[in-house]
Amino acid sequence: MGDTIKQLWSVVLVPSSPETPHLSSLWSWQACSPSQEFQNHMEFAPIISKESLWIDSSDCFPSVGTEAMAAENSMYLHTQDATCHQNHVNVFSPYIALLRTCAKNKDLHVGKRVHLDILKRGLLEKCSDALITMYAMCDALPKARELLDMHRSKNVFTWTSLISGYARNGQNLDALSCFEQMESEGLFPDAVTYVCILKACGNMRAIGKGEKIHRAIANRRLLGTDTVINAAIIDMYTKCGALERAEYVLEELPSRDVLSWSALIAGYVHHGQGNQALICFSRMQSEGFSPNAMTFACILKACGIIGALDKGKQIHEAIAKGRFLENDVVLGSALVDMYAKCGALERAKQVLEGLPARDAYSWSALIAGYTQEGRGEQALNCFEQMQREGVSPDAVTFACVLQACGITGAVDKGEQIHKVISKQGLLAHNVVLGTALVDMYAKCGALSKAAGVLEQLPTRDAFSWNSLIVGYAKEGQHEQALTCFDRMQWRGCSPDAATFSCVLNACSHLGLIDEAHMHFLSMSSKYGLKPDIEQYTCMVDLFGRAGHFEKALGMIEGMPSPNVSAVWRALLSACQKWGNVDVGSWAFRQAIKIDKSDVAAYVLMANIYSAAGMQEEAKLVESMQLESNACKKSQV
């Protein structure tokens, strides 16, 4: 307790000019109370800005425990009123300082207690701005809105605090509504307001509204004068998918900087365009701009997307040379993620072990890398080591570990994680985590538990339904898979292409030709989905196995591009079953046009000829295969 109080009160006023007040940790621990020590410091008041005492000293509070903080704050506030008046410091200033600290630390509990004291002292009007900001920063948005509506003198600052809170929490329509109401009351947005509302527009892909705000910024001649606004506009366009427009904004800026370049690079990465991100990065460097930590983090992600391990290593060297890793946990995690995505898991592990601080994100990156490579045991071992080091897993970590449990069939471990997730209430807000849980149980063959979890999820999407449908199909329960598909549609969830692949395969195993064809046609007619190669191959296989070769050939003719080996192999397999030499020989010719070294095509065709008693033709196919193999070896 003594150390805590000591840290709180280790702020001594250092005599300086009124223009440059500052505080310094020069106070030595003595046998006097913090209250007395504070009174002693007040002798310096005439030669410093008194407001800075209250505002700057609030930065000490983050290190103080809640109970100690409450006790000291009570003394701090209730014993210094006379001193405040004597030295012309506003009585409400300490409250503003404390509210600012609560906002910074997201300490809603203490913030509410300060609010109560403000009400008791009748200082609500003086402290409203700080209160609204505190509640908004603590994500207590209904309370922040309530106070704003009561506020008699609303200003841009308070409106912006609320808009920022809404945008940060994904309540983008509320952010836009606030922005429009603020403008309707005759208040002009400032730079911070514009940045917040542009974020909301990007989040909800409201490009029309974003363009309108862009024009307003240009009309007020703010474009090009504020680097953060420039980056926010570029970010908005990239999130709306308008990458060319974002490029144009960057090109038209009178002066580009690392922030605007980084925003565009981040946009390319967001859309999975790793190569474009690397090109943009090279252009930025050619113009003489040095990347910052944010740029490096984005470009490392780009390297991970396209598997550019060598480029990633070059970036790693530049980061190490600039000593960025010493103070940036996010950048260290991005390095681990890059190596893991490139399959260099041992290197990823080395980087993780060398980081000065490891967080849930860096551990999750390595765990995800192991699961991506199918190394479930290593992923689980990594998770256990993470817990031994006292790092608390987040939702992403849990999702990765559940995937590892599914790979290894570790249903008991999966159940343990399920209990932890439920206890923390994570399933109520995280669809991805719920889907991972369904998928884990389904892969472990615990289909009743998978179905039970799915039923309890507050939100079910195509991925969560697909996990259960695939699980039923994997266990040979094809009727259950189709029943699950019907329930999915009845619950109002639209299937995706992966769903239809599962359904068509189930129909194929059950011999439900007409039902499969109906589902195939419904993809485009009912759900606006274009069938891809996988669905076409399913239908060709289904028609072929049923002996309906005309329908199978008609399906191939309707394909956007029939130059896919899998389709012809499916047809060849059907021809082998039914002994159809004519269609089989034609399918074989198409298959080897695409890939002369397609072993399966040669084997199937040779079998078709042999079964038909055409031994000479079968030998010819076998010799063609040998010739193809010899040609392939000579090219190597």
Q: pLDDT band at 632, cuts 50/70/90?
A: low
Average pLDDT, the chain: 86
Residue 257 has pLDDT above 90, yes or no: yes
For residues 18-37, average pLDDT: 32
Instruction: Of 6-10, 117-121, 468-472, 574-578, give the lowest mean pLDDT range.
Output: 6-10
Give residue 439's pLDDT.
Answer: 97
User: How many helices (H) and strands (E) would you count in the chain?
Assistant: 37, 2
CB 315 within 8 A of CB 303: yes
How far is 303 from 296, CA to CA, in rounded Å? 10
Contact (Cβ atoms closer than 8 angstroms) between residue 235 and residue 244: no
DSSP string, 418-440: HHHHHHTTGGGT-HHHHHHHHHH
Q: How far apart are CA 289 and CA 99, in angstroms?
A: 39
pTM: 0.74
Tokens in use for 469? 């449908």
pLDDT at position 562 = 84
Token digits for 186? Answer: 């005759």
Please answer whether residues 331 and 319 qualify as being in contact, where contact means their C-beta atoms are separated by less than 8 angstroms: yes
The tens digit of pLDDT for each residue in 113-161 reads 999 999 999 999 999 999 999 999 999 999 999 999 999 889 999 999 9
Q: What is the pLDDT of residues 274-317, one digit of tens each?
A: 999 999 999 999 999 999 999 999 999 999 999 999 999 999 99
- 3-class SS string, 12-56: EECCCCCCCCCEECCCCCCCCCHHHHHHHHHHHHHHCCHHHHHHH
Give the model confidence (pLDDT) of 555-571 as tens digits.
999 998 888 999 999 99
Percent of the chain with pLDDT over 90: 78
* CA separation for the pair 540, 546 (Å, rounded): 10
Question: Does domain 534-636 sit in CATH 3.50.50.100?
Answer: no
| 368 in Cβ contact with 400 (< 8 Å) | yes
- How far CA 223 is from CA of 251, 345, 537, in Å, comes to 13, 44, 53
For 358-369, b/e burial (b = at least 16 CB within 10 A) is bbbbbbbbbbbb
Q: Which two tokens stand for residue 594?
A: 């695409």
d(CA 200, CA 213): 11
- Bridge partners, residue 104, by sequence: none
Q: pLDDT class for 18, splitting at 50, 70, 90? A: very low
The confidence score (pLDDT) of residue 223 equals 87
The whole-angstrom separation of Cα 418 and Cα 567 is 41
What is the DSSP-derived secondary structure letter of residue 188?
Answer: P
Tell me which residue has tokens 């144009």: 248
Q: Element (H or E) spanning 455, and its range?
A: helix 447-456
Name the DSSP class of 81.
H
Q: What confidence score (pLDDT) does residue 37 get?
A: 35
Residue in 263, 304, 265, 305 with CA at minimum distance from that of residue 282: 265
Is-contact 536 569, C-beta < 8 A? no
| CA gap 575, 557 in Å, rounded | 18
Output the CA angle 477-481-483, nearest 5 degrees: 115
Q: How far is CA 472 from the centre of its chain?
A: 30
What was the pLDDT predicted at 119? 95
CA–CA separation, 567 and 530 (whole Å) = 17
Q: How far from each other are the two terminal CA atoms of the chain, in whole angstroms?
A: 74
Contact 441, 474 (CB under 8 A): no
